[in-house]
Structure 1
């Protein structure tokens, strides 16, 4: 059985996504998409930048 070793799990829980959505102008789905694309920490930063640009 092959596994993805060394691959970091960048998925957000619903609770984490809701927290980011409540503190920024992104939806929970957008928060999850940003986390998958950029990683959890960078995704949250990108969400805050989205709020600042809006």
Structure 2
């Protein structure tokens, strides 16, 4: 069970980092991570598109 908690903490940290570096909200960053996984290149492209649409 601890492994799952650590993974959730790690994902939350990743979402916060993505939010800070792309000006997305943490919620929006988590949505993109769920959709695209941890592929940084895809996430950055999706974040740029997300901001352009909004």
TM band (smaller chain): 0.5 to 0.7
Structure 1 segments (4+ residues) deviating >6 Å: none
Unaligned runs of 5+ in 2: 1-9
Is 1:15 the counterpart of 2:30? The answer is no
Give the alignment's TM-score, normalised by structure 1.
0.55
Calculate the aligned-residue CA RMSD, in Å. Answer: 2.2
- Give 1 or 2: higher helix fraction: 2
TM-score w.r.t. the length of structure 2 is 0.55
| Larger Rg computed on CA atoms | 1
The C-alpha deviation readout for 1:1-54, integer Å capped at 9, x for no partner, is: xxxxxxxxxxx6111111111111211111111111122212343114434666
Q: Provide the C-alpha distance between the structure 2 equivalents of 1:26 and 1:38, rounded to a whole number of angstroms.
A: 15
